[in-house]
Structure 1
Amino acid sequence: MGRKYNRVTIRERNASALNLAFVEVKEKGSTVRKAAKKFRVPRSTLMDYLSRDKTDGQGFKLASYSVRQVLSETMENDLAKYIEQCSKLFHGLTTTMTRRLAYEYGIANKVNVPDPWKRDKSAGKDWLTGFLERHSQLSLRTLEATSLARMTSFNRTNLGVFQKKLEEVLLRYQLTQSCIL
């Protein structure tokens, strides 16, 4: 099986129908098979929800699709912001460094990480693929050294000289903003 799973069927979980079937079985004593047929929901799905039921007074809850997501959405957003910030400070991260960082971040926040993460001391390749899909603004690449001349030459003085020369050219040739593409 490839890394990217494409669903073959178009079946969607109907939360209201599952809820009605759930109530039918729990409160009215109907059989799972009859309730599943009556509300047109998969019997195995209804069985799963009934077996997971811990009547805490919260009622029926439809499980989210991101059951296997290790880091929460907010944690991933924080990680993405950190990676962007590192890039802005001329310290980009490779894929290996990002995977190791995700593992360390999960351990520091006491997240239950999978065993392969613990064994390798880094997140898996599949996690990284999903992370980059969820955060499409990120682009992890092989690091390339930024020359010291390039980093130091972009400063307030040089930028002021550039803007002064640009202003002189615009005045000399009487160019407007619409002329500049």
Structure 2
Amino acid sequence: MPRDWKRTTQRGNWTEEQLKQAIAFIEKGNSIRAASKQFNIPFTTLRDRRFKKIEGRPKLGRGTVFSKDDEELLTARIKLMDNLFYGLTPLQVRRVAYEYAELKKIPNTFSKDSRLAGKDWLDGFLKRNALSVRKPEATSINRITGFNRTEVANFFGNLGDVMSKEKFPPDCIYNMDETGVTTVQDPGK
């Protein structure tokens, strides 16, 4: 399915209210065909809703590859990796989805050659789960280990002591933590 898909049919283009009115119309003794024409709902839809007691909107299009639980598990894993300062790129998310589907033997249409889930799958997955996956920010191991509650509290305690003792004006405060020597590995695009 292309990413800029636009609906081209009128299938399932009726509302629940129209369906209720049509069924009430049929129960008053009118034919299903007459109700179909009057309320612009297909004959077979009305017949199935009337006699088989099928409810709800019709299911149009292909379903998702993973169940709701599987998608929640993948979402939780992506968020966990991000919280551990190891964000995943879109390519890595697609690879993880393919490997997960293969491991669980879930039928899919993912590429067997590239061993990746498709870009369209990724777009739908991100929209369904309100995620945003971008190039992760490079973070050094020193920054990760130094960023904890105790270290941050110590830093701000020391900063408060120095600021109250020395009374620096704001224009005399500089950020001097950049040394020009990198300890950070670039995660790539």
- TM-score normalized with structure 1 length: 0.64
Question: How far did 1:138 drift?
Answer: 2.4
Question: How far did 1:82 drift?
Answer: 0.9
Q: How many residues align?
A: 165
Q: Which residue of 1 aligns with 2:179?
A: none
Preserved CA contact (<8 Å) 2:16 2:57: yes
Q: 1:161 aligns with which of 150, 154, 157?
A: 154
Q: 2:123 aligns with which of 124, 129, 143?
A: 129
Unaligned runs of 5+ residues in structure 1 are 174-181
Q: 1:21 to 1:112 in 2, by over 3 A?
A: farther
SS across alignment from 2:73: helix
Q: Percentage identity across aligned positions? A: 33
Q: Which residue of 2 aligns with 1:88?
A: 83
Q: Which residue of 2 aligns with 1:37?
A: 37
Unaligned runs of 5+ residues in structure 2 are 168-189
SS across alignment from 1:98: helix
Question: How far did 1:157 drift?
Answer: 5.0
Preserved CA contact (<8 Å) 1:95 1:140: yes
Q: Which residue of 1 aligns with 2:15?
A: 14
Q: Which residue of 1 aligns with 2:178?
A: none
Q: 1:83 to 1:75 in 2, by over 3 A?
A: same
Question: How far did 1:42 drift?
Answer: 4.2
RMSD of aligned alpha carbons: 4.1
Offset from partner CA, 1:88-128 (integer Å, 9 cap, x none): 112221212211212233344453322x4455432111011
Q: Which residue of 1 aligns with 2:133?
A: 139
SS across alignment from 1:13: coil
Structure with larger RCO (C-alpha < 8 A, sep 6+)? 2
Q: 1:128 to 1:20 in 2, by over 3 A?
A: same
Q: Distance in 2 between matches of 1:54 and 1:119?
A: 44
Q: Which residue of 1 aligns with 2:99?
A: 104
Which structure has greater helix proportion? Answer: 1
Preserved CA contact (<8 Å) 1:22 1:60: no
Offset from partner CA, 1:124-172 (integer Å, 9 cap, x none): 110111222233342232x454323322332455323212124325755
Q: Which residue of 2 aligns with 1:177?
A: none
